[in-house]
Amino acid sequence: MSELLQCDIAIIGGGACGLSVAAVAAQLGLSVVLAEANKMGGDCLNYGCIPSKSLIAAARSARGFVSSAPFGIEPKTPNVDFKRVMEHVANVINLIKNSDNGIDVFVELQEKQHTIHGSHLLVATGRSPNITGLALEKAGIVYTLQGITVSPRLRTTNKRVYAIGDAAEGYQFTHITNYHAGIVIQNIIFKIPSKVDYRSIPWVTYTTPELAHSGLTAGEALKTYKDARVISLPFGDNDRARTEHMTIGNIKVIVTKKGKVLGCSILGEHAGELIIPWIMLIKEGKSLRHLTDLIIPYPTLSEVSKRIASEFYAPKLFSDTVRRVVRFLKYLG
Ligand SMILES: Cc1cc2nc3c(=O)[nH]c(=O)nc-3n(C[C@H](O)[C@H](O)[C@H](O)COP(=O)(O)OP(=O)(O)OC[C@H]3O[C@@H](n4cnc5c(N)ncnc54)[C@H](O)[C@@H]3O)c2cc1C
């Protein structure tokens, strides 16, 4: 017999989004009903971010064996026990909850079958939200293949329903789910009209080395800011990168003429960590000056960020005017 549940907020999906909103709402004393059709934790915990990063960590550990020669350590072929690697992955999932000689790939393209032979496989087909079975039309909720259409307040075309995370049109990242959860909590619970602001949204591609980005790309910036400048610096000049043999990489920053930061891309080891101060500068609309004023520990990879900021101001610091002032001060004794 079905029972009609009364609640303040009904949430469909117990992924990162649903769980974040449910936890906050419940802590604030609201009654919440959460429906989950598969595993609690959704894609991120069970199939996405956590399993993939646990696998990457295992792969990095194995790679240490074969890439040790530059450090004077004899390389060895590691013995990979994949069953135990997968146990490690399962352990990490549980903890948070509470490659090769030839791959044969069988694919179907436009109903024709092809077999492709290769050594590495990168699946980059993208993902689309699973919203077709929800009978959204009956509730007057508009959606496209990219997800449910939402306003900047994350409201759907039915004012009583919000869509967040992967289900909503736009970015599909776990950090977006947290952000969206905060926005809807402000709107639904606190009645504060809060809107999304995607200007500093970061993303990281977890390759070796990593690729991290926040804000505008150079192409996007030049459309709006005619005076936008692109400055870049290779990792090779960084002392810590040299000690670690991590010299492959580059930092690229897009700024206005006055040094206001519009975007940043970093390719290099730990790029996902190095991007953090840049997210803050972009979000707050700050200039590179905020980095030149920082005292940064030596030797660290983070010095690349201060160095690129200093390079931007170098032409002004060593301009003819400044040199004349220095000559004059010297003359005064
Ligand atoms: C391989 C992979 C790697 C990824 N790596 C990263 C990463 O490194 N960093 C990052 O930021 N993001 C990453 N992502 C994306 C990230 O996993 C998603 O953005 C995030 O999980 C979205 O959370 P969500 O709560 O919106 O949706 P989901 O996690 O998909 O949760 C939705 C939940 O709703 C349930 N559900 C669906 N329909 C119904 C229904 N009708 N009734 C009841 N329940 C229902 C589902 O079972 C699911 O549990 C990765 C994704 C994949 C696939």
List Cβ neighbours of 118 (8 Å cut-off, separation of 6 or more).
102, 103, 105
pLDDT of residue 307: 95
pLDDT of residue 283: 97
pLDDT of residue 326: 83
CA of 127 to the centre of ligand 1 (A): 10
* CATH hierarchy code of domain 199-320: 3.30.390.30
Q: Which residue owns the Cα nearest ligand 1 atom 17? A: 44
H or E element: which one contains 237? Answer: none
- Ligand 1, CB cutoff 6 Å, lining residues: 12-18, 35-38, 42-44, 47-49, 52, 130, 133-134, 165-167, 172-175, 177
Q: Which residue owns the Cα nearest ligand 1 atom 2? A: 48
What gap in Å lies between CA 243 and CA 238, rounded to an integer?
Answer: 9
CA of 7 to the centre of ligand 1 (A): 24
pLDDT of residue 111: 63
Strands (E), 193-260: 202-205, 210-215, 229-234, 250-255
CA of 78 to the centre of ligand 1 (A): 33
CA distances from 279 to 47, 201, 274, 284 (A): 27, 8, 10, 8
pLDDT of residue 109: 52
Q: For residue 266, which of 193, 219, 306, 212 has the smallest C-alpha distance?
A: 212
The sign of the CA dihedral 220, 222, 227, 231 is: positive
List Cβ neighbours of 224 (8 Å cut-off, separation of 6 or more).
216
Residue 129 CA: nearest ligand 1 atom is: 30
Backbone angles phi, psi at 71, to 5 degrees: -95, 5
- Amino acid sitting at position 139: A
What gap in Å lies between CA 222 and CA 236, rounded to an integer?
Answer: 28
pLDDT in tens, the chain (333 residues): 577 878 899 999 999 999 999 999 988 899 999 989 999 999 999 999 999 999 999 999 999 999 999 999 999 999 999 999 999 999 999 998 873 445 444 445 556 677 777 777 777 777 888 888 899 999 999 999 899 999 999 999 999 999 999 999 999 999 999 999 999 999 999 999 999 999 999 999 999 999 999 999 999 999 999 899 999 999 998 999 999 999 999 999 999 999 999 999 999 999 999 999 999 999 999 999 999 989 999 999 999 999 999 999 988 777 778 788 888 888 887
Residue 251 has, within 13 A of its CA and on its CB side, a CA count of: 28
Q: Which residue owns the Cα nearest ligand 1 atom 12? A: 173
pLDDT of residue 101: 47
CA of 194 to the centre of ligand 1 (A): 24
Instruction: Record the pTM.
Output: 0.86
pLDDT of residue 103: 47
Contact 288, 263 (CB under 8 A): no
CA of 151 to the centre of ligand 1 (A): 21
pLDDT of residue 315: 83
Strand order in the sheet with 250-255: 202-205, 210-215, 261-268, 250-255, 229-234
Length of the chain: 333
Domain extent listing, the chain: 1-47, 54-98, 136-189, 199-320
Which of 174, 214, 273 maximizes ligand 1 atoms within 8 Å of its Cβ, making it the mutation to test the pocket?
A: 174
pLDDT of residue 100: 47
pLDDT of residue 20: 92
